[in-house]
Amino acid sequence: STHDGKKPFETTKLAYGTQVLWPDHCVQGTDDVALHKDFLLPTAQIIICKGFHKDMDSYSAFEEADHKTASGLGGYLKQRKIKTVFVTGLATDFCVAWTALDARKAGFEVYVLEDATRAIDLNGSLAAAWKIMAAKGVKRIQSGDLA
């Protein structure tokens, strides 16, 4: 963590609430933020950047952890008349869950592709995330269900 005297997975209080401190990852200006060389985006129309505010974490692709600062993704999808969002990635119990929940809050139908995610499962966080997502109407599917 970049917080002096703190170790990864400890918590700290920030302006918007309690924050888990993660090992440094996806640091701006490093190869960690690059898309994989085999991930081709010939028709990409938007790339959303998150987690670049120094004093605020960002789990969701829709808004920062303060639940106030929007990324622009929700507005973009609505402008395009997109009604359904499929969520994959890391980590199921944090970034994926927050993205899925914020997508539901924004009015989208949301599916999490369980076999296209991986969890951290910090003190039962995975089971808790699935429970909250289900309660909010997020659907849990496998990638094969899309065939």
Domain with 101 in it: what CATH number?
3.40.50.850
Contacts (Cβ under 8 Å, ≥6 apart) of 77: 85, 106, 108
Residue 16 lies in a domain: no
Residue 87 lies in a domain: yes
Which pLDDT value is given to residue 117? 98
Residue 29 lies in a domain: no
Residue 22 lies in a domain: no
The alpha-helical segments, DSSP class H, found in 2-136 are: 73-79, 97-105, 125-135
> Which comes out higher in pLDDT, residue 54 or 27?
27
Print the domain residue range for 104. 47-146
Residue 38 lies in a domain: no
CA 15 – CA 59 distance, rounded (Å): 16
Residue 31 lies in a domain: no
CA 44 – CA 30 distance, rounded (Å): 22
What is the mean pLDDT of the segment spanning 104-133? Answer: 97
Residue 12 lies in a domain: no
**Residue whose pair of structure tokens reads 């369980």 in the numeric block:** 114
What does the mean pLDDT of the chain come to? 90
Which pLDDT value is given to residue 37? 84
> Which comes out higher in pLDDT, residue 130 or 51?
130
Question: Is the pLDDT reported for residue 84 higher than 90?
Answer: yes
Which pLDDT value is given to residue 1? 54
> How many separate domains does the chain show?
1
Residue 95 lies in a domain: yes
